[in-house]
Amino acid sequence: MLARITGGTCRGKAVIREDGLASVATSIKTRRDAAPDTQRILVGLIGRGIQLSRTPAMHEAEGRARGIAYIYRLLDADGMGDGRVRLEEILAFASHFGFDGLNVTFPYKQEIIPLLDELSEAAEAIGSVNTVVLRGGRRIGHNTDLHGFRESFRRDMVGARHDSVLLLGAGGAGAAIAYALLESGIGQLHLFDVAQARA
C-alpha cells in the first residue's frame, strides 16, 4: 500500500503530496496488473462530495460491454488528505499516473480553465469545462454539457413555446445550458442562482 505519493511538477509547482490519493493509485495499479493484454482507458471524475457518484460503475460497465478495460476513478477533493487538496495537485496526480482523461463536476468546471493548455471552441465560448483530454503532456478542455442539453432540447421540446425561459442555476452546467438556449433562438432567458454574482 502506498503511504505517500511524491514528485512531479505542474506548471512549475511541486505536486502530489496528499496521502488520500494513495488508495486511488493502488487501485489503478491493481486494475492494470489484472488486465495486461487488453486495451485500457484510465479516466477520473474530479469534484467535491462525489463519493456516492454512480458514474464509475456506469462507465466501467459500458467499457466491459465493448471489450475495453475502462478504469474510472473518483478524485474527490473532500476525501483526500485533510480536504484542502488543490485542483492543480489533482491534475498533476492524474498526469503522473497516466490518466487518459477526466470528467469535471462541481465546483471545478470554471476553476479548471486557467490550468489547461487548450480549450475547444465550445468550452471557450461557454467558459466552462466538464471534460479534459490528457494527451502528450497537454490538457485540453471540452464542454459536452452543451451538446447533451442542446440535443435533448431539440428532441424532447418539439412544439414547446420558446419565448421565455427561466434557468435555475448559472454555474458550470448552467452556463452551457444558457448558451444552448440562446443558440436555439429563445426569446428571453431569465437566470436565477443562489450566488447572485453568477446570475
How far is residue 161 from each of residues 27, 139, 146, 191, measured CA to CA in Å? 49, 40, 20, 18
What's at 144, amino acid-wise? T
Q: Tell me the CB-side half-sphere exposure of residue 62, using CA atoms within 13 A.
A: 8
**Amino acid letter for position 164:** S
Burial code of 1-21, b = ≥16 C-beta within 10 A, e = fewer? eeeebeebebeeeebbbbebb
109 is a catalytic site residue: yes
* Annotated catalytic residue, options 96, 109, 139, 150: 109
Q: Tell the residue number behind the cell numbers 440562446, with chain if given.
A: 182
Question: What stretch of H or E contains 131?
Answer: strand 131-135
Q: Which residues pair with 9 in a beta bridge?
A: 14
The Cα 81–Cα 87 span in angstroms is 13
Just list the catalytic residues. 109
